[in-house]
Chains A and B, each alone.
Chain A
Amino acid sequence: MSASARPIATTRSTAGMPTGRLAVWWVIASEIVIFGGLLGSYIMFRLSHDSFAAEAANTNMYVGAFNTWVLLTSSLFAVLGHKAAEEGNGPKAAKMLYLTFGGGLIFLLVKTWEWSEKISHGHTLSSSTFFSFYYTAAGLHALHVIAGMVIMAIVAQTAKRNLELHRVELIGIYWHFVDLVWIFLFPLLYIAK
């Protein structure tokens, strides 16, 4: 027992699911409620304030659609990475994770450009309640993208050496969740006008 750095507790799976996967699902469950609270508040406002529709017209649906496509594609790479990890092919899994990472990076770059443009047109965090929600919700989501990318880089480093391959699946689940949040944000912030 002293030889292993991991307690025996971690290796058990009474619930029939590996501990890591179980924990990621609980992380996601608690994240859903956070985003749920924010988006729920947004929807309440949206329904009771007509001015939101006019403000929402200032968002660029095409940029949002492009970013949706980027994120979905990156999720595909995450799935391929998981598949490679299942086959025991660490280096390939790492490569797929780097591609996923790249997707996240493109997403953030587009977002940066989009936000700079919005700000230069006078749509800032405090210019209207719609834009307050726009920046808060998308910003909170972007933080999750960044966190996911950092973890993904670390996981890829170990996976390359064929170590801790089960982590590829875990970061994949998380990445799908981040993706899913965007699937909710996109229609709410960009399409509904």
Chain B
Amino acid sequence: MIEMLGLPAASSFADDIDMVFSVIFWIVFFWFLLAEGVFFYLIFRFRKKEGVRAQYITGELKSEKRWITIPHNLILVFDVIIVIAAVKVWYTVKQDLPDAPDKQIVRIVAQQWAWTFVHPGPDGQLDTPDDIAKINELHVQVDRLHHFQLESKDVVHSFSVPVFRLKQDAIPGRVITGWFTPTKTGEYDIQCTEICGVGHALMPARIFIETADQHAAWVASNSSVSVASATVR
């Protein structure tokens, strides 16, 4: 449903999040139409007519309260379905941290008003001299597990990759770890989604999702010109 609005799903969990959205949408849409339908029918049916007096209904009798208690219980059932769907996805995306032997770790540093992405160099390790630090450019490899370490230098920012359906606030003084696995190649938006001052609209970055070969080529072409670590911290 979200993809229909022109936003591809490019991470392993994007489809799950879209699924939760759709599940909630159809449940809620059904109830919404039902309630509005009954509502407008009643308004029309019981509009004032000459000589017809309103009925006296207290709503305290069990037979009358049924009209409230049955929908009440149904909502409870649907709430349970939604909770299960939501928590399942939440667990996958935020609570769980999958591991893989070839995982890539990137460091993301937010500041007013730029992103610094530190990629491991050819050795695959962070905090070594061959790290590749890039301003507003994140290069990742498709179908490979990535862990990110999110930091902020000043105020609260939020790291959002809409095509991944991923969002995480960056809190100064903390390192927040998360993960994603890109599933589609291409170039997409990274946005800051927590107001961070006057330049909040000037924090666009791009994510480049590359095939293994492209990525290796990119690493090779950048590792020699690594100005890196010194400027990061």
Q: Do chains A and B touch in the complex (CB under 8 A)?
A: no
